[in-house]
Amino acid sequence: MRMILRAAGLLMILSAAVLFFWQDIREHFTDRVNTRLIEAYQDGDTSVDVNPVETMITGIEPMNIGTGTASSETSVESTNNASGSDKSSPPDFGGGMIGVLNIDAANINEPLFSGPVTEEKLKNGISLVNDADNLDMQNIPIAGHKVEGAGIRFNHLDQAEIGDRVEMQTNGGTKVYEISDIFEVNPSQTEVMNQSEGDPQQLTLITCEDYNPDTLLFEKRLIVQATIV
């Protein structure tokens, strides 16, 4: 009986420690998986080994590009309302990856996936918003989740400041941008993604902001725009 009580006590202590450090654990494992995804992309591969423990902790899901059911509706609100994809295809955690977004000042180094934005893509990294979006557009909209308590995805986007450097790494090379504007909008204000032909290329980074615990919704969107250098 005494051994059972000791074992139960130890289990409770371990469970409390895991809960206390959960976000740090999640950040550590997400960084590990991100590193492998990015290295595989740079090597021209999408097959990345992700073990069950990493899948459970990070929430990362296989990417079944071409079978997704998410809507391609043009809306900043889609950052919250993206839906999942059909899981019938073989696991492919890096499929649809088109680049890497890096903002050193905000501790952001994330895999970037093609549009449309879906929940699985936002679990695995960040994503172009719409199906027709591409990296040659004048205004490139990119959505990412705000993961509270963990330094992953766009959780630290609010640490970025005007003048900070942003790098977009693709198989075609690296483009450098400089943050030129930071502001908040309502979810319905999709004009932030409008194209301005003739203007310099820019990135429009979008994440949720102003969480309301009463409604369980993020009531604003944080917009960070960066202009090509």
pLDDT per position as a tens digit, 125-134: 999 999 999 9
Q: In whole angstroms, give the CA distance from residue 226 to residue 181.
A: 7
Total tally of structural domains belonging to the chain: 1
pLDDT per position as a tens digit, 45-86: 767 778 787 877 777 777 764 444 333 333 455 445 444 444
> Average of pLDDT values for 166-181?
95
Q: pLDDT value at position 5?
A: 72
> Average of pLDDT values for 169-190?
95
**Across the strands, what pairs with 227?**
178, 202
The tokens describing 96, both together, are 């649809």
Q: pLDDT value at position 87?
A: 45
Q: What is the pTM of this model?
A: 0.76
Distances in whole angstroms, Cα of residue 9 to Cα of each of 1, 22, 125, 199, 229: 12, 20, 38, 64, 58
Q: In whole angstroms, give the CA distance from residue 105 to residue 108.
A: 8
> Average of pLDDT values for 162-184?
96
The tokens describing 17, both together, are 């420690």
Q: Which residue range is the domain that position 216 belongs to?
A: 2-228
CATH code, domain carrying 42: 2.40.260.10
Provide the greatest CA pair distance for the chain.
77
Number of Cβ within 10 Å of residue 35's Cβ equals 12
**What angle do the packed helices 2-20 and 22-42 form, to 10 degrees?**
60
Q: pLDDT value at position 20?
A: 61
The tokens describing 94, both together, are 């890096």
**Across the strands, what pairs with 211?**
218
